[in-house]
A and B are shown apart, each in its own frame.
Chain A
Amino acid sequence: MIQATNIKKSYGELAVLKGVDVNINKGEIVSIVGASGAGKSTLLHILGTLDRSDSGDLQIADTLINALNDKQLSAFRNKHIGFVFQFHHLLPEFTAIENVCIPAYINGTNEKEAQTRAKELLTFLGLKDRMTHKPNQLSGGEQQRVAVARALINQPDVVLADEPSGNLDSDTSQELHELFFELRKQYEQTFVIVTHNKELAEMSDRQLVMKDGLIV
């Protein structure tokens, strides 16, 4: 699914990634763990095509990312990658279902089709009664689940999550984590999760431990 070889990235003098190799298989849930500043988020951004590496090859779903221009990259990201961030990053003016539909609309999906799929996802995530609520009317856990639905709307090859439960209490975190496994079971969804949460890391299929810009 994802093959990254010898990924390097520096910010000015500071080398953040010093030649990282990552291989993620379809349906896998992989967590990336490590101390703050180890380069976990940077790696995730590069895997998510939000940032470009200085060198190294990245292939996602048989597409060579380095060969894409900005516009192609946007379209690729839209269709193939879903994101869940530490903060939900939902758009405050839009209801839950509208937020979920936005990636589908960007992709040009028609309204009816997008909404059907969004309803399906929100129902699956236990938000059937919260669809028309705006983000500020939802609890932290609900907001994060809406964000998960948004990440899934275009049926991406991989969902990348950056500290998805970093802002949630332990019970809600637990629920969210279980959801990831539920989704893997149901849809064979691939997840790459950056986390400080030990339980989540231990639940995952594999842990990639990062230290000083390398996977150890």
Chain B
Amino acid sequence: MNITRFIARRIAFGSGKSFSGFILKIAAVAVGLSMCVMIVTNALVSGFQEEVSRKLFGFMGHIQISSFDGNRSFEDLSPINIKQDFYPSLDTVTGISRIQVYARKPGIVTTDTDFEGIVLKGIDHNFDWSFFEQYLVDGRALELGGEKKANEVLISRTTANRLGLKVGDKMTIRFLQKPPRARRPEIVGIYNTGLEEYDEVYALYDIRNIRKLNDWEEDEVGGFEVFLDDVRDLDQMSEDVYYRYVPHDLLSRNLKEINPNVFEWLALQDINEWVILVLLTMIAIINMITALLILILDRTNMIGILKALGANNWQVRKIFLYNAAIIIGLGLLLGNALGLGLCWLQQTFEFIRLPEDSYYISVAPIKLNWITIVLLNLATMGVCLLALMIPSILVTRIKPITAIRFR
């Protein structure tokens, strides 16, 4: 018979004295609230990181292959030939889902009253529209399958708003080159990804127009975008692509190398999360220490009796640690229910909203990592119990004779 479990279960919520029972319930609720906030924090931070990076990768691809010219501007100056060993077979490599071409060219959009610099991103008929279609707010995608160059452009809502343009309008784009050239494509669609830094710059255009403007050959492109199946493979896959598939005269870089700031900013969220988790764990521990001391003091008489009956200190301490574990366990149950419930509410009703221009997303996204949640629970339980080992020493100070002399 396990004496620890036998006794601990029976006395879990105090001796029926309403006051100590009340405090123990508060302790359980405090543990629960800590757990709830931990789950929500983790879900929000991971959701945020995932959603923002998903957008970034969706916009630009995970890896870009371009010429080795050291150009870091928005203009692809050195065209590369589309006939490469890796194109289009690279998408058959495990872990790579897609490869597509692009060519960028900056231009100035002018209206009667205004002008705005943008970058036209030329794409071809193989372009995967699944990302942009999610963020299409008006009109349609470009139709690039025709024999002729499509005189269509897809612009962002930011650009449209700044210049007062709408779907169906013609848009004059001027290119600073010798001799200066201009194009007047029709706006067929407006997108809004919320990635403000990209939205305010990019418009999608037929790559054949870019070739023509740049006097490139029919088989020349600015570069290739490579998409991966799983972003977690990013570092490994970028190395693979660079060393195994891309010839020496071409450069391949992943998006983290191209745009380190955003990813560092995303990584910074991890530190926020850790600070919150540590603080909340400490709150849970302090609450549980209070609860344990109350349990012990409430049970001085019982401790004395058990010792008189021959229970050793460790056996008695175990009863209280077990008891604390019951309280923590109930708290965790409550916390998980509450935390997951809140996450579900947010996922369903999206009541926490973010300013999109600062955070790239308009709704705080939720991502539940089940393994992390299980680990959070186990760690909270483990750390609390470890911390409670110290105050449980109080049990050894209670002498049977003082406890049993009076009732």
Chain A residue contacts of B10, Cβ below 8 A: 93-94
A92 at the interface (CB under 8 A from B): yes
Q: Judge whether A61 is part of the interface by a CB distance below 8 angstroms.
A: no
Bound Cα distance A189, B333 (Å): 51
Q: Is B213's beta carbon under 8 Å from chain A?
A: no
CB neighbours of A191 from chain B (8 A): none
Within 85-141 of A, Cβ neighbours of B (below 8 Å) are at 85, 87, 89, 91-94, 101-111, 114
Q: Which of B2, B310, B400 contacts A75 (CB 8 A)?
A: B310
B400 close to A50 (CB less than 8 A): yes
When each residue 1-21 of chain B gets 1 if its CB lies under 8 Å from chain A and 0 otherwise, what string results?
111001100110001000000
> 0/1 per residue, B274-308, Cβ < 8 Å to A?
00000000000000000000000000011001111
> Shortest CB–CB separation between residue B284 and chain A, in angstroms?
27
Cross-chain contact A106 with B407 (CB below 8 angstroms): no
Number of A-B contacts (CB under 8 A): 74
A contact residues around B6 at 8 Å (CB): 105
Residues of B within 8 Å of A190, CB to CB, are none
> Interface digits, A37-64 against B, CB 8 Å rule (1 contact, 0 not)?
0000000010010110000000000000
Find chain A residues with CB under 8 A from B313 CB: 70-71, 74
Among A91, A107, A154, which residue has its beta carbon within 8 angstroms of that of B302? A91
Contacts of B400 in A (CB 8 A): 50
| A145 on the B face (CB < 8 A) | no
B3: chain A residues within 8 A (beta carbon): 102, 105-106
Q: CA of A144 to CA of B404 in the docked complex: distance in angstroms? A: 15
Q: Is B308 in contact with A50, judged by CB distance below 8 angstroms?
A: yes
How many residues of B are in contact with the other chain, CB < 8 A?
Answer: 26
Q: Is A79 an interface residue (CB 8 A)?
A: yes
> In the bound complex, do residue A107 and residue B407 qualify as a contact, i.e. CB atoms below 8 Å apart?
no
Most A CB within 10 A of own CB, among B2, B10, B308, B401: B308
A74 with B312: CB separation less than 8 A: yes
Cβ distance A214 to chain B, nearest Cβ, rounded Å = 21
A75 B401 Cβ-Cβ under 8 A: no
| Inter-chain contact A92/B15, CB cutoff 8 Å | yes
Which B381-401 residues have C-beta < 8 A from chain A? Answer: 399-401
Known contacts A89-B404, A106-B315, A83 near B309 by CB under 8 Å: yes
Bound: A150/B309 CA distance, A = 9
Please report the C-alpha to C-alpha distance between residue A92 and residue B16 in the assembled complex, in whole angstroms.
10
Instruction: Jot down 7 A-B pairs with beta carbons below 8 A, ordered by A.
Output: A50-B400, A51-B399, A74-B310, A76-B310, A83-B309, A93-B10, A105-B1
